[in-house]
Amino acid sequence: MRRLCIITGALLLAGCQGFNSSGHQDSTDKKADKSLYQTSSIHASLQTHNRTADLGRAYSTAPHSSSNRQQRQQVEVEVEAKQTDLWLDLAKQMQLDVPLDHPRVVAQRKWYLKHPSYMRSVSERARPFLYLIKEEIEKRNMPMELVLLPVVESTFDPKAYSHGHAAGLWQMLQGTGKNFGLHFDSFYDGRYDVMASTRAALDYLEYLNGFFDGDWVLALAAYNSGEGRVQRAMKANRRQGKPTDYWSLSLPKETQNYVPKLLALAAILKHDSHYGMDIPALPNRPQLAVIEVEGQVDLNMAADLAGMNRGRLKELNPAYKKASTSPSRSAEILVPVAHAEGFEIAMADLPEPERAPKGQYIVRRGDSLGVIAKRHGTTVEALRQANNIRGNNIRTGQSLVLSGTYVAAAAPTASKSGSVYKVKRGDSLSAIANRFSVSINELLSWNQLANRHSLRAGQSLIVANSR
């Protein structure tokens, strides 16, 4: 019995020691685990803050998770930027091979990078027109690098004119323009028409590409110096056993730099992150609408009815030499997208005879702008605008357009201090807009009209903003 008690006591003592030893091991492991977790990103993501009444325990965001989320957001922003920036979209579509290390390309690239303000100003001039040109190139499945030709040719100035008598965005000669469908008369020069000249220039480039068996670089060189000159240079190289690619030809210095200027700029756009040139982003959507109108149209009247500045309309349509379109043909007029609907409604509402200018006047001996303006119920400034006259000089026998010198008809009696007009039979929105010197869009907005067909005789129409 005594031996049994001793054995039992020994076993109980061993059990107590084992328990204490096990408890100490657990504590040590927990301390080790705690030390490990404190240095891990998992533990850092679950740091306990002070308890709040509503949220119980609040946890900080894991540093690595925040970093990943910021990276994802940055990628999303960059992708969205590439979709919304027209320059980036154009660069993505460029396909011509560029010899980046060719000395002439390197020299032009260095020039662009040294003069970043050049492309900033060019980009601003290109803003209204670039998207329209992109669309024309896409329709024909031509290399998108061609969109850069107006940069090289005219710095995207639609009114550019060179000492060699080339004109417009694409710097076309009159003879070349005629060969590729441009129209010319005393009212209109197609080289200054952005859309017409773009189509003519692309027709010419397609012809040159075919002439040189699909070689776009030779086509570009020929656009600058003519296909005959490039062809003669190729024949000279063949006789001497030399290559006939563009880079091997003996061409005028201007042509030797012409193609590298375009290709160097294309390379900068395609590798913008590498070269780091800051070109202002442009919206990747149309800025202008092309409106087709039939018959001769007084541009000053059109601008007024569309609710836009007269000078701005002329800036966008420099092909028209006078303040009206040509009487011999229909016209395409560029207007800002925001004014397109009002302009189309105005043209649809306005009978064709009312669209044309009042007529012309032949200057007689002793005439002055003041005398003529008084005689025809207009102003000297209106005559200057209609005929592109600076100052007061006119000459006997000169033909003056009285376009744009119209005076709005006296407004019918309106109630509420002249802010409301009762529609009469035969009225149209364009006629009412003209009468009260407001735009079609304003009439539609003020009166909550769905379209121009919503007008009816006897209707009360707000014709002036009450503010």
DSSP state of 356: S
**CB neighbour class for 355 (10 Å; exposed up to 12, middle 13-18, buried from 19):** buried
- C-alpha–C-alpha distance, residues 420 and 446, integer Å: 11
Contact 109/268 with Cβ under 8 angstroms? Answer: yes
Paired strand residues for 292: 332
Query: Is 145 an annotated catalytic residue?
Result: no
Name the DSSP letter for residue 61: P
Q: How far apart are CA 112 and CA 106, in angstroms?
A: 10
Distances (CA, A) of 130 to 88, 202, 338, 435: 13, 14, 17, 36
CA distance 67 to 217: 46
Buried b (16+ CB within 10 A) or exposed e, 407-436: eeeeeeebeeeeeebebeeebbbbbbbbbb
* Active-site option among 153, 227, 292, 332: 153
Residue 403's CB is within 10 A of a number of other CB atoms, namely 27
| 3-state secondary structure (DSSP) of residue 165 | coil
* Lookup: tokens for 42: 């998992």
Distance in angstroms (rounded) separating the CA atoms of residues 132 and 122: 16
Closest CA to 257 of 96, 106, 94: 106
Amino acid letter, 307: G
Cβ count near 313 (within 10 Å): 23
At position 217, the amino acid (one-letter code) is: V
Please list, in sequence order, all residues whose beta carbon lies within 8 angstroms of the beta carbon of residue 461, skipping any fewer than 6 positions away.
Answer: 420, 421, 422, 423, 432, 443, 447, 455
Q: Is there a contact between 304 and 409 (Cβ–Cβ < 8 Å)?
A: no
Q: E strand or H helix at 402, and its extent?
A: none
Contact of 93 with 284, CB cutoff 8 Å? no
With 0-12 / 13-18 / 19 or more C-beta atoms within 10 angstroms meaning exposed / middle / buried, residue 299 is: buried
Which residues carry out catalysis? Answer: 153
